Structure 1
Amino acid sequence: MDLLKESILRLKQEKDAIILAHNYQTADVQDIADFTGDSLELARKAATLDNEIIVFCGVDFMAETAAVLSPEKTVLLPAPDANCPMADMITAGELRVLKERFPEAAVVCYVNTSAEVKAESDVCCTSANAVQVVRSLKEEDILFVPDRNLGRYVARFTDKRILPWEGFCFVHDRITPADVLQARRDHPGAEVLVHPECRPEVIDLADHVFSTSGMIRHVCSTDSREFIIGTEVGILHRMKRDCPGKLCYPLSSGAVCVTMKKTDLSKVHRSLETLKPRVTVPDDIAEGARLAIRRMLDIR
């Protein structure tokens, strides 16, 4: 083990810190993390930790969620400029205007949103539980923000009227049907797994639709051996580690989230050393956001 990793492990132990990493992080960051997962898994983990310090290797809304759920803890975001472009596609002010137009609708917000947007929402969801969350609501009209593709995917499984905002994930939205067809030609017989943030016409061509951790569970548990993976390429490292003997190919080699890649080991080390940059959420915003997140976590 090199000196930088050794120093990170030492600092982590000295300061009672835990490192959480998203499945899209770089391989070396995933390998140094105590827990790697998708948005739902990371939110659940952040809500139950005993450690004094949480180092969040992901993007800004993920660290905000941890800070909202654990306001007494120190939450660090090693790359403070690691933002989520989709989260920036809707503001709390825009959501308030939307709520005025549809006062009878329930507001479901994807966790890929700011704390301010969460505070204006009735309940949060992730790609892993969006269908379940929407089905749990008594309202017939659902304002679904900000991901139009996830909203349209949810609409396939409910009779409720889904009113999606026109946001999107640039990584998944630019995957095309032509990419799927080419991947099938390159790897005949391989299962095609895609993320629900993909366009409807891409989803229609897939064998399965899963969140990132759902993909990992499927690859590890099924008897199939080859898979075409339609999400951010960082997940391939974890699949190789967790599902030995399986062959996983990227649906698109261009499926790279540049902001997820802004975290590196030197930034993790510096963050542990200085306990900065720290992510905090004002109490008035955190209270509303916490309610929406907790409602999601209470749905089983």
Structure 2
Amino acid sequence: MASHPAAPVSLPRLDSPLAASVVDSDGRYDGIVPDESWAAEVKRLARERNAVILAHNYQLPEIQDIADYTGDSLGLSRIAAETDADVIIFCGVHFMAETAKILSPEKTVLIPDERAGCSLADSITAEELKEWKSEHPGAVVVSYVNTTADVKAETDICCTSSNAVDVVASIPEDQEILFNPDQFLGAHVRRKTGRANVRVWAGECHVHANINGDELARRAAEDENAELFIHPECGCANSAIYLAGEGTIEPERVHMLSTGEMLTAARKVEESKPSSKVLVATEVGMLHQLRKAAPDVAFEPVNDRASCSYMKLITPAALLRCLIEGSDEVTVDPDVAARARASVERMIAIGNPGGGE
């Protein structure tokens, strides 16, 4: 018998004195000032819905600060699954809310603006992955967690940026691997494992891809004592390893880190080198959490234009609208969710999955 996506729950609208919002010239929900009255109303509405608010590290600072939990998408989804909340409000992009639904099928999952997509997740579709698999029968499919539910369902095992090397290393060395969708993370995995049989899909996050090697080299030369926190998704990742190998940048300055690992490293820098500077190569929203984690360290972006417009669709007005109207709900076909959940659980069984994107 064929299964179908669960029907939307149609949560009742809640009354709120701050209900009015408008759409600005960029198409974002606007018209709400994130002041104390907004924060109090968000908390009140969340209590009425028995909702937990999750915010990804790349969200606007005011969204991060109002959330019950802030972090990477997988870590947040796992936390939400353990709470007694009936409703998950996921302030992030769409595939992240899908992951939360996959891990919490009994909960209602809302995203404050369903238009919040992801260029990396859109780099590969389930149909494209099926075709790739047909060209390489017997290959093991390893998919970055930053993929859609449909792609996860066609995946043997998922990975995060912090455990991608461990996931690939857990697969027999003579086994061909199809790694998708991020080409920069895939190159990092190839380099760390030394495996030639890892085929890499040519996908990318447009924000991370635009943080390039020339920019990194210039900033590193300008601040010769600064540590470098580099996300493996960045276009500058391979350049950083090359420059370190050539001696242009001291190797000990270069740290390839997931978002979760950046926070751990930030605290260590504050303990050992207070009042120092760190150059950060990832989406600029991460700077807010880094500065909170280590306030005595000066964190600066390698590229201050590295801002994800999809992430920034989740505005204070969008969050308030979501809580008042009970929109926009995210559903996943039960069969797809079951297959996708299996690929995530295989990753969790290997360990260290919480370091995130």
User: 1:176·1:202 contact (CA, 8 Å) conserved in 2?
Assistant: no
* Structure 2: distance between partners of 1:193 and 1:239: 11
Q: Tell me the residue number matched to 1:14.
A: 48
Q: Distance in 2 between matches of 1:129 and 1:50?
A: 28
The match for 2:191 is 156
Structure-2 residue corresponding to 1:24: 58
Aligned mate of 2:309, from 234, 258, 263: 258
Supply the distance in 2 between the matched residues of 1:171 and 1:228 (Cα, whole angstroms): 16
- Give, in angstroms, the shift of residue 251 of structure 1: 0.5
**Which residue identity lines up with residue 343 of structure 2 in the other structure?**
A
Give the structure 1 partner of residue 27 of structure 2: none
Query: Where do 1:160-239 residues align within 5 Å?
Result: 160=195, 161-199=197-235, 200-205=238-243, 207-222=254-269, 223-224=272-273, 225-239=276-290
Residue number in structure 1 paired with 2:182: 147
SS at match of 2:317: helix
Cα deviation, 1:235-262, whole Å, max 9, x if unaligned, reads 1111111211011010011111111111
1:246 to 286, 297, 312: 297
State, as a whole percentage, how many aligned pairs show the same letter.
44
- Amino acid across the alignment from 1:108: V
Q: How far apart are the structure 2 equivalents of 1:208 and 1:293?
A: 26
Structure 2 residue runs of 5 or longer lacking an equivalent are 1-34, 244-252, 352-357
- Deviation at residue 190 of structure 1 after TM alignment: 0.4
TM-score by length of 2: 0.81
Aligned equivalents of 1:124, 1:53: Cα separation in 2: 25
Letter paired with 1:187:
D
Match of 1:291 in 2: 342
> Residues of 2 paired with 1:32 and 1:137: CA distance?
41
1:280 aligned to which of 285, 310, 331: 331
TM-superposed CA distance for 1:293, in Å, is: 1.2
- Contact map agreement 1:152 1:162 (CA 8 A) in 2: no
CA contact (8 A) 1:111 1:125 kept: yes
Shift of 1:13: 1.5
Q: Distance in 1 between matches of 2:349 and 2:165?
A: 15
Count, aligned residues: 300
Q: 1:104 to 1:159 in 2, by over 3 A?
A: farther
Relative distance call for 1:299 and 1:71 in structure 2 (3 A) is: same
Between Structure 1 and Structure 2, whose CA radius of gyration is higher? 2
2:140 aligned to which of 106, 109, 121:
106
8 A Cα contact 2:74 2:99, kept in partner: no
Distance change >3 Å, CA 8–CA 277, structure 1 → 2: same
Match of 2:304, SS state, is: coil
1:115–1:188 Cα change, 3 Å:
same
- Of 199-208 and 113-122, the range deviating more from structure 2: 199-208
Q: 1:203 to 1:174 in 2, by over 3 A?
A: farther
Contact 1:194 1:203 in 2 (8 A): no
| From 104, 116, 123, the counterpart of 1:82 | 116
Partner Cα separation in structure 2 for residue 62 and residue 82 of structure 1: 10
CA deviation after TM superposition for structure 1 residue 202, in Å: 3.7
Q: How far is 1:49 from its partner?
A: 2.5
TM normalised by structure 1 equals: 0.96
Cα shift at 1:187: 2.1
Shift of 1:113: 1.0
Instruction: Give the Cα–Cα distance (whole angstroms) in 2 for the partners of residues 268 and 25 of structure 1.
Output: 12
Mapped to 1, the partners of 2:63 and 2:242 lie a distance apart of: 34
1:5 touches 1:265 (CA, 8 Å); kept in 2? no
Structure 1 window deviating more from structure 2 (218-227 vs 131-140): it is 131-140
Shift of 1:295: 1.3
Q: How far did 1:203 drift?
A: 4.3
| CA–CA separation in structure 1 for the residues paired with 2:223 and 2:107 | 47
How much is the aligned-residue C-alpha RMSD, in angstroms? 1.4
Supply the distance in 2 between the matched residues of 1:14 and 1:43 (Cα, whole angstroms).
21
8 Å CA contact retained: 1:233, 1:255: yes
The one-letter code of the counterpart of 2:148 is: S
Superposition deviation, residue 80 in structure 1: 0.7
Shift of 1:159: 4.0
User: Which blocks of at least 5 consecutive residues in structure 1 are unaligned?
Assistant: none
Q: Retained in 2: the 8 A contact 1:39–1:126?
A: no
